[in-house]
Amino acid sequence: MARPEPIRFRRSTLGEDVYETLKGLVLEHTLSPGDRINIDALAREFAVSPTPIREALARLESDGLVRKRPLVGYTVSPLLTRAEFTDMFEMRLLLECAATRWAAERTDAARRSAITTEAATTVVPEEDDPDGWHGAFTVLDARFHDLIAEASGNDLLRDGINRLHAHLHLHRRYFPYAQAGATVEEHRRIAAAIQAADPDGAEAAMREHLTRARERHLPAFD
């Protein structure tokens, strides 16, 4: 897909801007699964040196969105298979339900408040930038789940959840735009249970959310 206008970056945040832009191109399939990534061509297109491109690609490799192969360089990673999708949700149900229970049991008032505030945050689609809304919603969704993982008080558990990069891979495979509101309401129920220090309710709300999220993404495999 052609990008008709040149991309302009602020020098003060160059590395982060290049990373976010490349991540957006992968999520939106402007860079499609299997595409070979030409570092020099991207550097010319972005009007930057190859260094921030390489740094961004190294981060995207850590995210699982690109792969580096000897003698080939970077290519865009393939989409999740149905088997990988199933495995990922099994892991999320194990890890995130435990994290949510422990967050409700253990965390302090400041973190409970932060989770509640994050759950109440919404992203409004912009007619002239629907792709930007997709990316912003993905970031918001991931941040909410990471706050809960952090509030669990178990750094190893949080690291395990983050290593799945679930939100990037799910929203790259299929993004259920029409059901984003359901996600927001489910987040609010989880946050309310954590705020009330109700571990049973929090765990149940997270289990319901993940189960419904799995159902929302299943059409991608039809």
pLDDT digits (tens, 9 = 90+) for 169-198: 887 777 777 788 899 999 999 999 999 999
Look at the alpha carbons of 5, 6, 9, 11 in this order and tell me if their dihedral is positive or negative: negative
Q: Which one of 2.40.37.10, 3.40.50.2300, 3.40.50.300, 1.20.120.530 gives the CATH number of domain 82-221?
A: 1.20.120.530
pLDDT digits (tens, 9 = 90+) for 103-127: 999 999 999 999 999 999 987 655 5
Listed range (7-16, 57-66, 166-175) with the worst mean pLDDT: 7-16
Task: Look up the pTM and report it.
Answer: 0.83
Q: Average pLDDT for residues 33-39, to the nearest whole number?
A: 95
Provide CATH code, domain 14-76: 1.10.10.10
pLDDT digits (tens, 9 = 90+) for 209-219: 999 999 998 88
Instruction: Please give the mean pLDDT across all residues of the chain.
Output: 89
- Listed by start position, the domains of the chain span 14-76, 82-221
Residues forming beta bridges with residue 69, ordered by sequence position: 73
What percent of the chain has a predicted confidence (pLDDT) above 70? Answer: 90
Q: Does position 94 have pLDDT exceeding 90, yes or no?
A: yes
Q: Does position 4 have pLDDT exceeding 50, yes or no?
A: no
Question: Which residue has tokens 């689609």?
Answer: 125
CA-closest candidate to residue 89, choices 167, 141, 28: 167
CB 101 within 8 A of CB 198: no
Q: Average pLDDT for residues 44-52, to the nearest whole number?
A: 94
